[in-house]
Structure 1
Amino acid sequence: MGFCDLRTFNLAMLAKQGWRLMQQKDSLLYKCFSTRYFPRSHFLDAVESPNCSFVWRSIMAAIPILKAGCCWRVGDGTSIKILTDKWIPKHPTNKVLFSAGVDVGEWLVADLIEPDSHCWKHDLIMNTFHREDAKAICRIPLSRRRVDDSIIWLHNKNGRYSVKSGYYVARQVLRSENWAECSKGNDEQQVWKALWKMNVPNKIKIFGWRACQGILPTRLNLAKRKIIAETFCPICLQSPENEMHVIWECPVAQDVWAGSRIKLQKCPLGQPDMVQLFLYLLHRLEPEDMALFLVQAWMLWSQRNSVLHGGKLKEPGWLNKRDVEWLEEFAQVQDQLDVLQPRATVGNVWRPPAHPFFKMNFDAAIFNDSGRSGFGAVIRNELGEVMAALSAIGPSVSSSDEAETLACRKAMEFAVDAGFNELIIEGDSINVIKALSSSSPDLSVVGNVVADIKCLISGLRRVSFSWVNRDCNRVAHALAKFANSLEEDLYWMEDAPPVALDALFLDSISMNI
């Protein structure tokens, strides 16, 4: 299952119950707990009381995990304290970092939002907070409607807690509480990152991971499980057989390493385990040599298994030659598989909608140089004729998914204002299309924007969503890129945008394929 620490796993499971309490406030369990343990505060602010039940004490043990991984998603801002709560996603600590220019100790986030237009009070924020904090606040997307503040989980894109993500947060929390274990944890992280990036087959990566974890079926490990009684190496019969012995310390392995192309002759034998050996070699070998080391280690293990089942030992020179040839063969196969896919296929061209539908394509572009984004949308009929189009300026965003979601909302507002009631909506962001097609509430950072789009859609007669690749979305993309040169939004009604004529021409050609 991938869970190495049972205590941490149990805490992650308990945190799941705490997450359910926060999300299911109508449940009987939440009402009982809230009445007794936190009648006038939020669940995350609750504490363990002297006479509390065993269940509540267990849930409180997982509260640090939820506090570390949860964050407020701004709705109307009436439940969020500016200075003490975590409410700024993708910002260090998710809180205000620098002291404000005025006393905001009792302020709520609602004090920073225009109540009528549901947008940030930009001038107030820029004059009150440090520039970095102000920019991060203004990047938070707000709903067009009045919605409640909610708690989201930062370590999943969908904003929902999972035991897997909670497990890793719990490990970080426990590691920060026990600094003595930090060094080993950091060493392991370096090893895992280097291991999974190696240009070797996945089965060899998994072999390296199992060797570093100490879970290969060596004689010592099998004896610990009472499967066999003999623990000595079946090849040299001199020492107990563990991972380090098979791969590094056995005389047979030493003969192979002595003749290897890798410069390992001066490497010491006193490494305590495979993680430390791997880390030692990482600091001294090039990535290509590390890949060769891992392949040779796998061959030594394979030879050990072969001898154990009646095979014969290979010459060290043959093994050293074979590992180089094996890596070269793997590289050649990878090059052969890396073939460009043909672009001119029927599925890669724009198609007009069937009557009486109109098709709306939307797209977004991010302009890092100017610190803003751009939105583009075009609505066409069954003949491919442009009925409406827009190129609009967007705010600074923190991710492409956020930009695409905001672009879709802008496009939907434009389509509703223009009077279109039967739409096929196409975009090239699979995450946005999935979110809009889902019937469950979206708890992500942009979930309120997704809810705005669904609210707009509910007023249409018929609507459907479809994901397309970039080639089918070139007109909207051209309009989104053009927004970087604008000072105000541009709209076209029953007229082809001049900036997208080339893209429209290519789409018209594809209609006849």
Structure 2
Amino acid sequence: MYRNPELLLTKVYKAVYFPKGLLWVAKKSWRPSYAWSSLWRSKWLFEEETMWRVGNGQSIMIADERWLPSGCLSIYREDVAAECGVVRVSDLLLPGSQQWNNELVNFLYWPPTAASIVKIPLPLVGGCDVRFWPHTVNGEYTTKSGYAVARSKAILAAASSSFSHNVTPKVWKVLWKAPTIPRCRELIWRGCVKILPVRSALRRRGMDVDDMCQWCDSAQETIGHALLFCPVVRRWWFASSLGLRLDSEVEFHEFVAALFSQAEMSVVAVFCQLCYIIWEARNKLIYDGVQPSTEVVLSRAAGLASTTGVAHVPLRNGAVSDVWTRPNEDTIKVNFDAAWADTRGASCGMVARNGAGEVMAAATRPGVDALSPLLAEAAAFRWAMVLSMELGFRTVNFETDCKLLYDAWRMKDLGSSYLFAILSDCKDLVQFFDFCSLSFVRRTGNKVADFMAKRAGDFGDSVWIDEVPQAAMQLILDDVRALVPS
């Protein structure tokens, strides 16, 4: 049995599925392992949820593949497409160009679908089409995101039925605020959503195990029986400081909901800790053959009650600037930003200043196609880099107020999502600078670029040399004044 099944799932899917696509044709075979059976049964999730990231479009069939931003195979004029010779996504691009053929797209697709297609970001120099997982920022599968998608599709409705019936949001708030260590709270949550690996659950999932309780050997081991209602466990609850007399059996999540809705926080904490110790004792009995006494269990629970939680590490003061700061004397600082609207698309703005705080250039660009605010920020970064090259800037410090973009830029391994396709273009552009870096500043230090992006619709596709629009001049002065000690 693997000690970390979540890590196993993530590594197997990354190594087997994404680079090679072998999971599509994988067979279950005869007498497979429990781990492989679980992986194979979840193949449907990847078949339904993974989608293509458009590079040159030559590998993607427009009618049979999942590549549209909406994730579905939207209806299009199939007969007309066949007459036009449009079979692959590459046929929707302008010949010899990495740009959408807007006229053809609008002719073949319904207006909402066509509008989303032309917003798909294309790499500057083409490249291969790549399958990616659209539910994470970097396009790589994680166990957490896969579980969230499966739950949203109601596949785990039976396992999580307590969410809509017995366990209310108020009960969850009580659990997560309980003054005990995280692993105790997590055990209660896992019991309530029925994902604890008790023997009845393992047998139901295909494992050849005896589903009888290891303590009493007289009843099936369910979550409620293992943690509350086994005769051996009942004695521990009655002997504990809570003095619980558990006479009638109910579902574990029903018992938790009833207790947490009226108990004090101290009682909730003791309950969570004793449940954890009981589960620990159950595992020691199964794997080590050790059967602890009542005194040992209660003593262990009392010791756990005195354990402190995880210490919080404070953030370093001044780690991120709140105001615009001057670059080095020989460096140009280019602040950029994007303003995004679902209906109107995105707009970009930038301002370049030298070490003395003097404006070197400013620019706006409206009508930028983007699927999301984050992709709009990435498109603004790429646009600012290309414009800086055209203006002759060679030593540049680019600055953004988008933390997600900054974190993605710092990752060593690029993912397979559209965000990383744009960032891949940006990394290719770095070679054209003598020095190029990206830094992060809070919104208050990026006010000029933010203003330019929001007013791009008024200014149009414009570039100012050695100046900014008069409406932005006051913000430039505010940045300079913020650097002068009072």
Q: Answer yes or no: same fold by TM over 0.5.
A: yes
Deviations 1:383-437 (A, max 9, x none): 1111100121143534332111011111112111111111011111223223334
Contact 1:442 1:451 in 2 (8 A): no
User: Structure 2 regions of 5+ residues with no counterpart?
Assistant: 198-211, 218-224, 278-293, 299-311
- Which residue number corresponds to residue 184 of structure 1? 159
Q: Distance in 2 between matches of 1:468 and 1:63?
A: 42
- Which residue number corresponds to residue 233 of structure 2? 241
1:465 alignment partner, SS class: strand
**Share of identical aligned residues, percent?**
22
TM-score normalised according to structure 1 size: 0.66
Aligned: 1:15 with 2:13: yes
- Which residue number corresponds to residue 351 of structure 2? 378
For residues 290-301 of structure 1, what are the structure 2 equivalents within 5 Å?
290=261, 296-299=267-270
2:425 alignment partner, SS class: helix
User: Structure 1 regions of 5+ residues with no counterpart?
Assistant: 23-41, 226-232, 256-267, 312-336
Contact 2:17 2:23 in 1 (8 A): no
- Cα offset, 1:508, TM superposition: 0.7
Q: Distance in 1 between matches of 2:265 and 2:439?
A: 45
Q: Distance in 2 between matches of 1:86 and 1:153?
A: 12
For residues 219-238 of structure 1, what are the structure 2 equivalents within 5 Å?
223=215
Deviations 1:438-495 (A, max 9, x none): 4433422222211221222211111122111112211111111112445x31221111
- Which residue number corresponds to residue 284 of structure 2? none
- Which residue number corresponds to residue 108 of structure 1? 88
User: For the structure 1 residues 242 and 450, does the alpha-carbon distance in structure 2 shift closer, same or farther, using more than 3 Å as the test?
Assistant: farther
- Which residue number corresponds to residue 151 of structure 1? 131
- Which residue number corresponds to residue 333 of structure 2? 359
- Which residue number corresponds to residue 203 of structure 1? 180
Q: Match for 1:471 among 416, 427, 444?
A: 444
- Which residue number corresponds to residue 414 of structure 1? 387
User: For the structure 1 residues 294 and 371, does the alpha-carbon distance in structure 2 shift closer, same or farther, using more than 3 Å as the test?
Assistant: farther
Q: Distance in 2 between matches of 1:63 and 1:301?
A: 36
User: For the structure 1 residues 388 and 442, does the alpha-carbon distance in structure 2 shift closer, same or farther, using more than 3 Å as the test?
Assistant: farther
1:348 alignment partner, SS class: coil
Q: RMSD over aligned Cα, in angstroms?
A: 4.9
Q: Distance in 2 between matches of 1:9 and 1:276?
A: 31
- Cα offset, 1:202, TM superposition: 6.5
User: For the structure 1 residues 169 and 348, does the alpha-carbon distance in structure 2 shift closer, same or farther, using more than 3 Å as the test?
Assistant: closer
Q: Match for 1:510 among 478, 482, 485?
A: 482
Contact 1:11 1:61 in 2 (8 A): no
User: Counterpart of 1:19 in structure 2: which amino acid?
Assistant: Y
| More divergent stretch after superposition (184-193 vs 449-458) | 184-193
Contact 2:10 2:141 in 1 (8 A): no
| More divergent stretch after superposition (149-158 vs 433-442) | 433-442
Aligned: 1:126 with 2:101: no
- Which residue number corresponds to residue 500 of structure 1? 472
- Cα offset, 1:111, TM superposition: 1.7
TM-score normalised according to structure 2 size: 0.69
User: For the structure 1 residues 204 and 61, does the alpha-carbon distance in structure 2 shift closer, same or farther, using more than 3 Å as the test?
Assistant: closer
User: For the structure 1 residues 189 and 168, does the alpha-carbon distance in structure 2 shift closer, same or farther, using more than 3 Å as the test?
Assistant: farther
User: For the structure 1 residues 422 and 192, does the alpha-carbon distance in structure 2 shift closer, same or farther, using more than 3 Å as the test?
Assistant: farther
Q: Match for 1:73 among 53, 65, 68?
A: 53
Q: Distance in 1 between matches of 2:389 and 2:229?
A: 80
Q: Distance in 1 between matches of 2:399 and 2:376?
A: 15
Equivalent residue pairs, number: 416
For residues 15-414 of structure 1, what are the structure 2 equivalents within 5 Å?
15-19=13-17, 21-22=19-20, 46=25, 63-89=43-69, 91=70, 94-100=71-77, 102-104=79-81, 107-162=87-142, 164-165=143-144, 168=147, 176=155, 182-187=157-162, 191=167, 197-198=173-174, 200-201=177-178, 203=180, 207-214=184-191, 223=215, 239-241=231-233, 246=237, 252-253=243-244, 271-272=250-251, 274-278=252-256, 290=261, 296-299=267-270, 347-368=321-342, 370-414=343-387
User: For the structure 1 residues 195 and 357, does the alpha-carbon distance in structure 2 shift closer, same or farther, using more than 3 Å as the test?
Assistant: farther
Contact 2:216 2:230 in 1 (8 A): no
| More divergent stretch after superposition (196-205 vs 409-418) | 196-205
